[in-house]
Amino acid sequence: MHNDENEEHWTDHAICRGADPDLFFPIGYSAPVLQAQMDAAKAICANCPVKAECLAWALRVGEPDGIWGGTTPEERRYLRRTAEAPARRRLPVIVVRGDASESEHASAA
């Protein structure tokens, strides 16, 4: 049987454990004072040995608030969008009769 009670978790090694939680949850992300708060939180994350695990967790659960793994909610939304985006591939050229001559169609392909 698996005993989770005695097992370490990545959060046990997070250096933010002793920091003020309010630092990581600013009310907004654009006002200068809030920007300074966000920068201070990110500075703590920058030195954290479990930064990657923290970010992976926040991305996996879709954490909508706070600084996690050194990222803001906006940065995580961007990371999720780019990770989930399908690979781009060239679309086929579709010619409707009368829209283009045969030579234009051949040069487009």
For residue 26, count other CB atoms closer than 10 A to its CB.
Answer: 21
48 is in an annotated binding site: yes
45 is in an annotated binding site: yes
78 is in an annotated binding site: no
Are 11 and 39 contacting, i.e. CB atoms less than 8 angstroms apart?
A: no
Are 65 and 26 contacting, i.e. CB atoms less than 8 angstroms apart?
A: no
- 4-56 pLDDT, tens digit per residue, is 566 889 999 999 998 999 999 987 666 788 888 899 999 999 999 999 999 99
What is the pTM for the complete model shown?
0.68
42 is in an annotated binding site: no
- 43-95 pLDDT, tens digit per residue, is 999 999 999 999 999 999 999 999 999 999 999 999 988 877 666 677 677 77
Q: Give percent helix, percent strand, percent coil of the chain, each to the nearest 5.
A: 50, 0, 45
